[in-house]
Amino acid sequence: MSCNVQGLTNEASCETIGSGRQPLTTASTSSERNSTAPLRRWGAFFSPLTACLSLCLAWGLVALPLGAQTCPWTTTVRQEVCPVGSACATKASTLTYQELDRDLLNTVGLCAGPGLFTWPASPSAGILTSNSSGTISLNSVTLTPTSNGGPFRMLATGSTLTGATNQGLRHALFSLFDTNTSSLQDTVIGINFIQQSGVGTIQRTGIDIRGYTQPDNGGDTSLLLGVQTGGGCGLCIYQLPGMRPSGYTNYESTLQGAIEAGTGAQNFAIMGVSGSQLGGATTNESTAVLARVDNAASRGVVIFPNDSTFDTRDALVVGYPQVNADPVLIKSRLLMNGKMSLGLVSTPDTRLTLSDNASTSSPAPLSGTLLHMLGTDSTTLRITADSFAAQSSYEGRRSSGTLGSPSALASGDVITAFTGFGYGSTGYSSGGRVSIQLKTAEAWTDTAQGTQVSFFVTPNTTATAVETFRFDNTGHLLTTASAPSIACTGTGTSPASPTIVGSDTAFTATVNTGTGTPGSTGTCTVTFSKPFTTNIPVMSCMLARGATSWGNGATIQLTTESLSAPVLTWTNLVGGVATTLTVSTSYKFNCIVIGR
């Protein structure tokens, strides 16, 4: 039998389950449902249900035959007395929620089953247990559940078992149904509580579930299982301080969230699964974690260290998890200090480390490196920039001073450079060995911003880069390598040594005659500071007018080609006649040397 509580303005009576009437149903008026109080249909049910279970354990239950039964004990239903062995009376007026809460406390045990459960006049102690088959037992006597729910089955007003017959993935001890499609703003179970003391410890919770299970492969064993078969969210939890009781402190400024999940074990706290469902994988596109940002002042995801120390601990890892160990096959890693890696490299060593190499290690980057890239072995590492209807461009900017207080550049400051380092016998070079430097050519102001470009190379058998040539601020090409040496003959007695200014590729030589009679012809051997390699360079020279001119028919020619020390022969001619040079006089000639 069952005591079926109909709508709050309707009758309440003990009814016969055998006649097909439904178990416990409740409802409220529209005015109650829309008030500011916690008006949810089952809002007052949870605590009575708990009380009912306590009564069940203390009083015990017995099975009675199906059929017409009367209320077996005296109780209050809608503020009317239901004596032992008599039918329940009715109350014409609408019940308040306080009355409903009180009345359900007295009647839920009577109304909780399909006619199988009641309290005896002289109860004996008993233990109510749930079996793996979905049944419950009292003192080893099995109480069989109905086909549409557990042994304790309750329906809200206007609800039926149609559409609610599938109990899902688990057998239920208690089955609560609200299938009334026209009734909105309803809650099957409503829990409201207030806690204002015991900060820092667990003092009160709405639901406390503790269990012990073996490991599963996804949903087989769990403390809480929710299955959404419609279009709503599977679990909706919000933190809404604006709905707190009137007069209570607003704590929305504290760093507390709607959901907190943690683990003290050697595993994870939360796992999101996409592309799968209970029972197997699907072909549907889905997302494991989705963060929605609704205004410009909000953020999608924030990761922070509890001790405020931003160090090398992992903030985010893309890889395969291990129990109590670092993940393996790591493809991406973000550390708490802000450094990030993409690729197999185990630990990012710069703000962004990009690796396409199979190794998990990386060579230490240079000091100040923000982006570190590692290519695949035996494969050219490329940076490709595609642009359309405009150029691709690389820009480098520099100021003196600091970010907060920048200042103007000085003459000769390197604005930006492209520099090459290499690996020697045991490690990478300590400095750049080849470089193109974009430099200032004057002290900068807002209107004076001259520049120049210098080219540096490292000569063989050395380990220091030197500037070889430069485009100055006028666009002229200047050679800046070391000058060669020179030795000349035919210059008379005790001449001053010849001099040379310039570099191996372009120079001006000055030939000095002595106090004795110089000759009308002679030679000059030019020894390059750095010999050319493989091919003999092209060398072109011409005589130059100085304080004293060469003869009007004088000549100079390359008579001995060489990679390191070519020989030039000069002849001083005046009117086609060989004429000796003037004593104690300087004569000049210029040469251009082009390697090939």
Is the pLDDT assigned to residue 160 strictly greater than 70?
no
> What pLDDT was estimated at residue 262?
85
Contact call for residues 489 and 522 (beta carbons, < 8 A): yes
Give pLDDT tens digits for 450-481: 999 999 999 888 999 989 889 999 999 888 87
End-to-end CA distance of the chain: 111
Q: pLDDT tens digit string along 82-120? A: 444 444 444 444 444 343 333 333 333 333 333 333 333
Rounded CA separation 191/209 (Å): 15
Whether pTM > 0.85 for this model: the answer is no
Checking if the pLDDT of 158 tops 50, the result is yes
C-alpha–C-alpha distance, residues 355 and 342, integer Å: 6
Question: Partners of 516 in the beta sheet?
Answer: none
Q: What is the mean pLDDT of residues 265-283?
A: 76
DSSP, residue by residue, 130-154: E-TTS-EEETTEEEPPPTTS-SEEE
Per-residue pLDDT at 382: 94
State the CATH architecture for 485-594: Sandwich (2.60)
Contact 120, 62 (CB under 8 A): yes
Sign of CA dihedral 267, 269, 275, 280: positive
Long-range CB pairs of 425-434, under 8 A, 24+ apart, other chains included: 428/363, 429/463, 431/465, 432/456, 432/465, 433/457, 433/458, 433/463, 433/465, 434/458, 434/465
Domain boundaries, the chain: 2-177, 314-374, 408-420+432-479, 485-594
Q: How confident is the model at residue 163, as a pLDDT?
A: 54
Q: Which pLDDT belongs to residue 257?
A: 83
Query: Does 267 have pLDDT greater than 60?
Result: yes
Mean pLDDT of the region 313-341: 91
**pLDDT over 70 at 157, yes or no:** no
Q: Which residues make beta-bridge pairs with 322? A: 325
Residue 201: pLDDT band by 50, 70, 90 thresholds?
Answer: low
pLDDT at 5 over 70: no
Crossing angle of helices 97-111 and 46-59, in 10° steps, is 40
Taking the CA atoms of 341, 345, 348 and 351 in sequence, report the sign of the dihedral they define.
Answer: negative
pLDDT of residue 280: 63
Rounded mean pLDDT of 235-258? Answer: 85
- Say if strands 352-355 and 340-342 run parallel, antiparallel, or are unpaired: parallel
